[in-house]
Amino acid sequence: MAAEQSSKSVRSTDILATGRRKTAVARVRLRSGSGKIVVNGRELEAYFPAVKDRVLVSGALETVGKLTAVNVDITVDGGGPTGQAGACRLGIARALKAFDAELAEPLRHSKLLTRDGRMKERKKYGLRGARRGTQFSKR
């Protein structure tokens, strides 16, 4: 029973990588193929209806010219659409770097391998938000 593997097992040609942005986490599986991008079981256009998010996700592939050379399967959760798209972009860039080491330099030059560390600032006690105080009342 332990020797059996499910149909979703990782093939030896699959490259796995993780990307994060804000609170979104994307797990990317990259393999040689025809350029199909699937996000959470749906096509890229169906999952990200906004053009800016689709451009963000496929940006790393366009930069290195692998848009029609690899298939990408992404599982993403947490955050909103923009954070998820950013997480997908970082995950794809990291997977491309592992796929072909020669792609690391153009990816790094385009700043696609850098994780965006900006997170939401925590709320402080005595304030209404991270920085907003209460309204002043003279009387």
CB atoms within 10 A of CB 77: 12
The highest-level CATH class for domain 15-109 is alpha beta
Query: Which residue(s) pair with 18 in the sheet?
Result: 27
Q: How confident is the model at residue 13 (pLDDT cuts 50, 70, 90)?
A: confident
Domain boundaries in the chain? 15-109
Residue 8: predicted pLDDT: 54
pLDDT of 6 higher than 50: no
| Segment 107-133, tens digit of pLDDT | 999 999 999 999 999 999 999 999 999
In this structure, are strands 24-32 and 15-21 parallel, antiparallel, or unpaired? antiparallel
Residue 81 class from Cβ within 10 Å (0-12 exposed, 13-18 middle, 19+ buried)? middle
State the number of CA atoms in the 13 A half-sphere of 105 facing the CB.
1
Go through the chain and tell me how many residues it has: 139
Q: Mean pLDDT of all residues in the chain?
A: 91
